[in-house]
Structure 1
Amino acid sequence: MKKNIYIVIAGVLLGTTSCKDFLELPSEKDFDSSTIFEDVGKAEMAVLGAYTSTFNAELFYQFGMGTDECFSTEGETNSKNQVSNYVFNPAISPTSTYTTMYAGVEQANVLISNIPLMTSTNDAEQQKLNALLGEAYAIRAMNMLHVVRHFGDVPYPTIPVVEMPDFSSSRVSRDTILDGCVADLQRAIELLPWKGESGMPVERVSKNAAYGLLARLALYAAGYSLRWDLDSYAPGSVQLARRSDTQRIQELYEIARDACKAVVDRGEHALIDYETIFRDLVNGKYNSESMFEYGQKGADRNEARLGYTNGIFAHTQSFYNKSQPAMAALPTYYFEFEEGDVRRDVTIANYAITAQSTHQMNTYANHAIGKYRVNWKADGGVSAAQRDINWIHLRYADLLLMYAEAENELNNGPTTVAKEMYEKVRLRAFQNDRSKIGETPAMYADFRNAIIQERKLELGFEGWRRTDLIRWGILYEKLTETKQQILDLANRTGKYADVARYRAYQMTDAKTFNDPTVALDFIPFANEPTSDERIALEEQGYTLLDMYGSTAAFFNNKFSANEVWVRNIFRGLEKNKVELFPLNTSTIDNNPGLRGQQHPLY
């Protein structure tokens, strides 16, 4: 067939009850296409190999910070901190997502080029080949979305490298790319089986997942992005805008709505207890809410360090070994959850694990990401930094909110269906107590704002917030507002005037796997307790914590308006500039087709 095209091959196939058993990789091997496409089994291994290039740590780490929920705990001279605070330049612009996603695109292109040339011996084998081809189309589409949402107009290869006339490529309009990705996912949906029919593990794209990915991609294609004239690259042409074709925007919202409706009508997915989503995730268990995950089983698949970089702090001498977060919840995020919302204490961990293996309460400045906490696991994983924790690309709650959003956009206001989808997510958050979810907005703008807020609360730290704010056209405004709120909280003014300055809590043991502790209870004090109150608290085994002080297991910085880390949050933010990253210098150097095609404002 084609001359030596090398694809990383991933190991064992299906038929297991735990998602962790899928993609248990053997040693990597190189296969050229003349052997890969000799039989269905080898072609399937090639598809599994392509999945290894669908995710990397940047997607939750560098790209997951700099939002109204998450900030970097690293020093101001660290490139990760700079990226999270919009201090961009081509020398430090992230490269891993760019290179990893294009590696996956190349693998998908090889598969798309070669699988249709294979001959089947029976209907079952042909259905298998169709499904493998569908997965390849889905991989190409979701990888290109990851590149476009962070870098904008980029090269768009749709054939294998060996079939290209040369090895350089230039930027292509993101509208062309995203429309091509929509077509890819529509083709994937035609080819793929429903999850319930195939028994496909959650680490592989089913028809269900492809519909969800299509909805997501269509919303991005219909939304705002930073654009410029691809002929002149004139700085004055840079603007945050939607595509000019309003009819196509309408079509994209219809595509998103119909995709979500197909999954809801199918009935194979459901919302489950919010805490259980993430306890299942860290322990490699399936549930009906998770629609698509990136598998992390084994030492050679743990490069993302999930639960380490983006988890809670655990001291290296603790029962759980070391967990060292480099990112944390913005102090204001905790206060955005309404009373009774069970998502708050799952999403944000109010404790760390000490060297003595106890739960120590966090201050406002070092509230940690709680969804991937190592103490909820049933074991220690491969190592401290390799915890065998999957990454959720897509879950059912996300799809319901996308459904509600698309309905609102199409009808200039929320329909009955839009309200129903939105309220399903709200009701789960308040354990089905309708009295607590408030009135659902009835007007377009109010409902849109409600969706924006609900996605923040529901999907915190799941990697979509930064670019969601961009596709809504509000990144600068939302982060400017958030910075003022941080200062208000630091000064205990405005709506934060009554926030507790101190908390009294009891340290408890953290010496068991599957730790049942979600959050530490506390007694709030607006002002410093008197000496008599302190004595009484100590006698009852309470520890008093200054929530604005520097007593913390990690990131032990005071929380005040004049602290460097507070002043420097979002320090590089500029509207109509930072909504896209510049291409890294090395990226341009390695591709002659990109010469002279840098982001015009860099």
Structure 2
Amino acid sequence: MKSKYILLNLFTATLLVMLISGCKKELEYVPESYLSPEQVYADEAGAIAGITGIYRQFQQLKKSELGLIGNIGTDEGKTSGFVPTWGGYWLQLSSVSSYDKTQLSPQNDVLFYFWQKVYQAIGNANIAIRYIEKGPAGEAVKTRILGEAKFLRAMGYFYLVQLWGDVPMPTEAVDPIADENGYPRTPATDVYKLIISDLQYAQQNLPDKSKMEKGRANKQAAQALLGKVYLTIKDYPNAKTALDPLMSTTETALMPNYADLFKNDESTENNIESLFEFQYSVESGHTQNFSEILGSWNISGNQPGGGGQVALPTAYAANIYPLADSARKNAALRSVYYDGNGNPGLNDWWGDVGKPHLKKYEQKPNQGSNSSTRNIYYLRYADALLMYAEVLNELGQTTQALTYLNKVRTRAKISNLETVMGGTPSQQQFRDSMVTERIKELMFEGWRLFDLKRWGLFETRTKLYNTESTNNIQLPMHLLYPIPYRELIANKAITNQNTGY
């Protein structure tokens, strides 16, 4: 049985308000298991359990259709043809892919739930930081769990600032009475300063990956995320400094075979390449339906096909792998489905018959709906290598950058880039190769939207390759999502909406 960790169902003050603005919410029933922050963080064991509860909140964010944000609405992924016909919430989800202005609006519930869940996790991280700092835990434990709390808070704000720009930025536990007027939007530059500060603390104080429980933040994960943040704001010297230790550590390395990263028997989860991944298991009571949403669900019985098929790769992404790159293609995509007796058949349940679907998250055979126990990657060492190569190239060190890019290509059993190009590429040629290399290596791992924005290619590539969005995308409007209407109503300190909404 694989090692998983049961997550505490933590009820804290942030769950008693509808929004982080401090808007009070009447509770008809307070569970007997309710614990105040003072009770949770009264001792060392409680503090550790409190942090574990925050991990669970991010698990919930990634386990469902909300985990598609970052993948769909790009040149990489789209919602399937049937999703808009389901109406309501699903029509709103399809607009995140198509940028349909009638649905991608402040009233969009998909965006509101994402916003709400991230802020709930941040709120609990703020509570943890406040009570751990003055709590009774031993100094070594206190430093470690503070590092975890700050890593998780940084993760949350990194999502928010990339998707919404200037956002409210509470750093203390919310007081529903004292803070009843809400929080104004903080400039994105200041949000990034907090993210960087939190991750600097985390990478300095968290133990190495090998010394941490599986599924918990560690030094190498913090270094990789800090490097990604610096890369996002184009601070290349500091990105290099953050990523440098990962290039020489023995704590992480590439798995020898790409396909082994995605075995559906779950035997290679929490592997040497994984820097941080979200944990799911029957034992913990926390499973995911992301596999089903992507159509990569092994149906029991004799019915060919599988899954809800809510999202799938664009035609461009499905055909991006050259013949030589079959190792990654065969691990990432499935074009033929099998029934319960092992007989091949087309996926004919929904609207995109026979089109390639994501295989990466395919769950164990005979697991039912909403019961996949596959973990979901957040950060992998291959991502760190590609980021480091990108940073070196931007610093004018293209020849050195090839070393790190080629590590990823060699694992995929394809030729070095300079061999393919007949010599050392120019800086721009290297940039162009990175655009395709990252999608081939990291397809549907949650980073494509942010990559395209960083490169300034979001509009051109999404319009070109995600055809349902071609006539809808407008800049600067769609570089950011609208602030949710329910937040604007509850949080009177927010006085402006993002451009175009």
* TM-score (normalizing by structure 1): 0.71
* Cα distance in structure 1, aligned partners of 2:170 and 2:418: 52
Paired residue type of 1:463: G
Unaligned runs of 5+ in 2: 12-32, 86-90
Please state how far the C-alpha of 1:317 moved relative to its aligned partner.
3.8
| Residue type of the alignment partner of 2:457 | I
Query: Is residue 418 of structure 2 the alignment partner of residue 404 of structure 1?
Result: no
Q: Write out per-residue CA displacement over residues 103-129 of structure 1, whole angstroms, 9 at most, x where no aligned residue.
A: 111111111112121245xxxx32121
Distance in 2, matches of 1:397 and 1:41, equals 35
The question of whether the paired residues in 2 share the 8 Å contact of 1:281 and 1:390 is answered with no
CA drift at 1:76? 3.5
Matched with 2:54 is 50
Relative to structure 2, which stretch is displaced further, 581-590 or 320-329?
320-329
2:117: which partner in 1? 100
Identity %: 25
Contact in 2 for aligned 1:313/1:352 (Cα 8 Å): no
**Shift of the alpha carbon at 1:187?**
0.8
**In the aligned structure 2, how far is the partner of 1:182 from the partner of 1:392?**
22
Q: Per-residue displacement from partner, 1:361-412 (whole Å, max 9, x unpaired)?
A: 56886211110112xx2x644x32221121110001000001111111223x
Cα distance change, pair 463–138 in 1 and its aligned pair in 2 (3 A)? same
Q: 2:48 is aligned with what amino acid?
A: E
Q: Distance in 2 between matches of 1:335 and 1:215?
A: 30
Counterparts of residues 151-162 of structure 1 (less than 5 Å): 151-162=164-175
Task: Report whether the alignment pairs 1:177 with 2:191.
Answer: yes
Distance of 1:154 and 1:35 partners within structure 2: 31
Deviations 1:214-259, CA, capped at 9 Å, x for gaps: 111222233xxxxxxxxxxxxxxxxxxxxxxxxxxxxx32222122
The 1:318/1:175 distance shift into structure 2, 3 A limit, reads farther
Aligned partner of 1:395 among 376, 380, 383: 380
Once the two structures are TM-superposed, the CA of residue 182 in structure 1 deviates from its matched residue by 0.5
Deviations 1:158-184 (A, max 9, x none): 111139842301111111101210011
Matched, 1:132 2:145: yes
The answer to whether the Cα contact below 8 Å between 1:331 and 1:365 also exists between their aligned partners in 2 is no
Does 1:597 pair with 2:493? no
Q: Is the radius of gyration larger for structure 1 or structure 2?
A: 1
Equivalent position amino acid for 1:92 in 2: N
Letter in 1 for 2:357: A
Give the 3-state SS of the residue equivalent to 2:252 in structure 1. Answer: coil
> Match for 1:114 among 104, 123, 131?
131
CA 1:118–1:577: 2 relative to 1, 3 Å: same
* Aligned counterparts of 1:440 and 1:41: Cα–Cα separation in 2: 58
Specify which structure has the bigger relative contact order, considering alpha-carbon pairs within 8 angstroms and separated by 6 or more residues: 2
User: Structure 2: which amino acid aligns with 1:105?
Assistant: I
Tell me which of 210, 214, 230 is aligned to 2:222: 210
Partner of 2:72: 65
Equivalent position to 2:370, from 385, 399, 404: 385
Stretches of structure 1 lacking an aligned partner (at least 5 in a row): 1-16, 223-251, 484-565
Separation in 1, partners of 2:461, 2:414? 29
Q: Secondary structure at the match of 1:336?
A: coil
User: Contact 1:95–1:584 at 8 Å: present in 2 too?
Assistant: yes
The 2-side partners of 1:477 and 1:466 are apart by 13
Shift of 1:347: 1.1
Of Structure 1 and Structure 2, the greater helix share is in: 2
Aligned residue number for residue 88 of structure 2? none
The verdict on how the C-alpha distance between 1:316 and 1:96 changes in structure 2, with shifts beyond 3 A counting, is farther
What corresponds to 2:106 in structure 1? 90
What is residue 360 of structure 2 aligned with on the other side? 371
Amino acid in the other structure paired with 1:600: T
User: Take 2:265 and 2:451, find their aligned partners in 1: how far apart are those partners?
Assistant: 23
Q: Distance in 2 between matches of 1:103 and 1:587?
A: 13
Deviations 1:279-305 (A, max 9, x none): 168457331111101112238764741
Map 1:317-336 onto structure 2 (within 5 A): 317-318=301-302, 323-336=307-320
Change in Cα spacing, 1:61 to 1:36, as seen in structure 2 (3 Å) is: same
Structure 2 CA distance for aligned equivalents of residues 364 and 332 of structure 1 = 17
Report if aligned partners of 2:2, 2:267 keep a CA contact under 8 Å in 1: no
Identify the residue that residue 20 of structure 2 maps to in structure 1: none
SS of corresponding position for 1:95: helix
Residue identity opposite 1:147 in structure 2:
L
Alignment of 1:150 with 2:158, yes or no, is: no
How far 1:316 moved relative to its partner? 6.2
1:296 counterpart = 2:280: yes
Distance 2:75 2:361 in 1: 19
Conserved? CA contact 2:7–2:284, under 8 Å? no
C-alpha contact (below 8 Å) 1:430/1:437 kept by paired residues: no
- 1:189 is matched with 203
**Alpha-carbon deviation of 1:67?**
1.4
Are residues 400 and 95 of structure 1, via their aligned partners in 2, closer, same or farther at CA, if it must alter by over 3 Å? same
Check conservation: 2:402, 2:417, Cα contact below 8 A. Answer: no
Quote the Cα distance in structure 2 between the aligned partners of 1:307 and 1:467: 22
Secondary structure, aligned partner of 2:345: strand
Aligned to 2:337: 352
Does 2:250 align with 1:285? no
For the residue of structure 1 that corresponds to 2:168, the secondary structure is coil
Residue 578 of structure 1 corresponds to which residue in structure 2? 478
Asked if the contact 1:25/1:300 (under 8 Å) is kept, the reply is no
CA distance in 2 between partners of 1:189 and 1:164 (Å):
35
Q: Deviation of residue 600 (structure 1)?
A: 2.6
**Preserved contact between residue 305 and residue 345 of structure 2 (Cα < 8 Å):** no
Mapped contact 2:385–2:404 kept (Cα < 8 A): yes
**Is the 1:153–1:173 contact (alpha carbons within 8 Å) kept by the matching residues of 2?**
yes
8 Å contact 2:6–2:284 — kept in the other structure? no
Is the alpha carbon distance of 1:38 and 1:480 closer, same or farther for their aligned partners in structure 2, counting shifts above 3 Å?
A: closer
In structure 2, distance between residues paired with 1:299 and 1:384: 17
Equivalent position to 2:322, from 324, 329, 338: 338
Q: Distance in 2 between matches of 1:387 and 1:144?
A: 28
SS in 2 for 1:308: helix
Seen in structure 2, the aligned counterparts of structure 1 residues 281 and 157 have a Cα distance that, compared at 3 Å, is farther
Q: Work out the CA distance in 2 between the residues paired with 1:572 and 1:22.
A: 44
Q: Deviations over 1:124-152 (max 9, x none)?
A: x3212110010011011011011111111
Q: Are 2:247 and 1:264 aligned? A: yes
Aligned residue for 1:293, secondary structure, equals strand
Separation (CA, whole Å) in 2 of partners of 1:394 and 1:281: 20
- Equivalent residue letter for 1:395: R
Cα pair 1:47 1:132 within 8 Å, conserved: yes
* Equivalent position amino acid for 1:189 in 2: Q
For residues 464 and 191 of structure 1, do their structure 2 counterparts lie closer, same or farther at Cα, with a shift above 3 Å needed?
A: same
Q: CA deviation at 1:99?
A: 0.8
8 Å Cα contact 2:305-2:337 kept in structure 1: no
Are 1:25 and 1:298, in contact at CA under 8 Å, matched by a contact in 2? Answer: no
3-state SS, counterpart of residue 403 of structure 1: helix
**Structure 1 residues 399, 301: CA separation in 2 closer, same or farther (over 3 Å shift)?**
farther
Deviates further, 435-444 or 570-579? 435-444
Residue type of the alignment partner of 2:204: E
CA distance in 1, matches of 2:273, 2:336: 27
Distance in 1, matches of 2:116 and 2:424, equals 43
Q: Is the 8 A contact 2:293 2:310 kept in 1?
A: yes
Residue in structure 1 matched with residue 34 of structure 2 by the alignment: 30
Amino acid in structure 1 at the alignment position of 2:474: E
- Partner Cα distance (1:592, 1:438) in 2: 56
On the 8 A contact 1:257/1:407 being kept in 2, the answer is: yes
Structure 1, 275-284 or 254-263: larger mean CA deviation = 275-284
